Amino acid sequence: MAAAQKAAKEAAEKALRATLNMVQMTPEDLAKVQVVPAVVGFVGIFVNLAMFFATHSAGWLAGTAMRGGIPYKAEVGLDYVVFGEAGVVSHNADTGWNCNSDSSCGLQELCDQAVDSGEHWPNGVPKNTPSEVWCELASASSAANAFFVMGQIPGFVVTGLTIMFALTQHPAVDKLFKQAKSKGMTDKIFKFVLAGCWGAFWAFLFFGMTAYAAGVPDNLGYFGDAIQLEGSYGMMRFSFLLVSIFGSMLVAQLFELWTTENVVEAWTEFLDTPWISAKKALYLELMLQMFLYFFLSIYSVDWAMLLVIFAGFYLDTGNNNFKLMYFVFTGVSILLDITKIAHFPAYTDTLSPMVKFGCGLYIMIFLLKFLIIGTIVLYEKFGDNDPRTVAPHDPSRSGYKAHEDIAE
């Protein structure tokens, strides 16, 4: 086992050196990279790619549209609509849609079509989705897309600047910064530019999502079947959450609004904790749960993710009050989760991938709550053999200084 671990470590180091050589860096240079700007820069890359693919795909909202008295499931993008399944429902004159493409219909194309919106079924449902509905969708999509396109300008710029800021020790990047300083660009000005670009990126994302959510109609012509925001909109919400969190981290570090000493200390404690221990298991379970909560935001934002912070603070400081708050609030959330899961739809072929994704993540998070509570009980009762990982609020252990932990 030890030989295999050594061989894997050597292979990883060799691959790392080969990768660094491609960008003319050494492991020593890598050690000088500023961690927070580097992480934020890569988050920026992910967000920009997510925005690009989301704005060019369907799945912004789903609903039921009417044409010739026949209901059609519709998947709506920012500039086109797909009715039914591609290849199954034709979008040409044979089905009454009269669209130029057999695979989709443009929103503006549907808006411009003249349909008889006065003919209704006896129950009041119109036989055709009014053109005004498609015009509302086209207008909302156009406004949102304008914000997203404008947002990607500061998005791409600030992502590049953030990565450059993280690599200031690289000779080529250092040379660029010196040239900028010779032309009057001070560190303070650069920090304000960086923070301003992240703020603009964040604002364009927010206003784009708001413009879309406020502008779309309540339904697509089939009353009783309200529209549902789908995966592409969810990816924008997920991107907004990432920019909010990681952008704030970067701004806080740039202007020294917080210190990284406590974060480094907590990370060091995590690394020093033995792998075969209740404390390490608790660390990993909380990380996994927070990771799942982040991706759940694509489907819906669940503020129960804040309970992970309670548990993390308890684990770091040993403050018993936070453990009790975690138990109480998590117990209540479990009961509410049961009522919500009981109302989940059956997993059938007609269920949208977005709903399947969200329900699956929700159930995984629900099950993790029991595992985390059990691990905390195990950690409290038995502790670990390593004195560093004994339940930290236990006054009987040697060297216990609760006031120091809480003060930090």
Calpha distance 155→147 (Å, rounded): 12
Q: Which amino acid is at 283?
A: Y
Calpha distance 404→400 (Å, rounded): 9
Which distant-in-sequence residues (6+ apart) come within 8 Å of 164 by Cβ? Answer: 173, 176, 177
CB atoms within 10 A of CB 191: 16
Report residue 125 as tokens. 């449902």
Q: What is the pLDDT of residue 235?
A: 94
E-strand stretches of 166-300: 228-229
Q: What is the pLDDT of residue 5?
A: 53
Calpha distance 253→247 (Å, rounded): 10
Calpha distance 67→69 (Å, rounded): 5
Residue 254 contacts residue 191 (beta carbons within 8 Å): yes
Q: Which amino acid is at 324?
A: L
Which distant-in-sequence residues (6+ apart) come within 8 Å of 220 by Cβ? Answer: 63, 64, 65, 66, 74, 76, 129, 133, 227
Which distant-in-sequence residues (6+ apart) come within 8 Å of 265 by Cβ? Answer: 408
Which distant-in-sequence residues (6+ apart) come within 8 Å of 8 by Cβ? Answer: none
Q: What is the pLDDT of residue 122?
A: 74
Sheet containing 80-83, strands listed edge to edge, beginning at the edge strand earlier in sequence: 105-106, 80-83, 70-76, 61-67, 228-229
Q: Give me the long-range contacts of 328-334 (CB less than 8 A, separation at least 24).
A: 329/304, 330/369, 330/372, 330/373, 333/304, 333/307, 333/369, 334/366, 334/369, 334/370
Angle subtended at Cα 215 by Cα 52 and Cα 236, rounded to the nearest 5 degrees: 25
- Whole-model pTM? 0.80
Angle subtended at Cα 61 by Cα 58 and Cα 64, rounded to the nearest 5 degrees: 105
Residue 120 contacts residue 127 (beta carbons within 8 Å): yes
Q: What is the pLDDT of residue 67?
A: 82
Nearest CA to 137 out of 92, 76, 74 is that of 76
Q: What is the pLDDT of residue 50?
A: 94
Which residues does residue 126 pair with via DSSP β-bridges, in sequence order?
A: 120
Nearest CA to 201 out of 247, 257, 142 is that of 247
C-alpha neighbours within 13 Å on the C-beta side of residue 183: 6
Please provide residue 50's backbone torsions phi and psi, each rounded to the nearest 5 degrees.
-60, -40
Give pLDDT tens digits along the chain (408 positions).
456 556 655 665 566 456 545 545 555 544 445 778 888 999 999 999 999 999 998 889 998 888 888 888 889 999 999 887 544 555 555 556 678 877 788 899 888 887 766 677 777 777 888 888 999 999 999 999 999 999 999 999 999 999 988 887 777 777 887 888 888 888 888 899 999 999 999 999 999 999 999 999 998 888 777 888 999 999 999 999 999 999 998 998 888 877 666 666 777 888 888 888 888 999 999 999 999 999 999 999 998 999 999 998 888 888 888 999 999 999 999 999 999 999 998 877 777 888 889 999 999 999 999 999 999 999 988 765 444 444 444 445 444 444 344 434
Q: What is the pLDDT of residue 51?
A: 94
Q: What is the pLDDT of residue 116?
A: 65
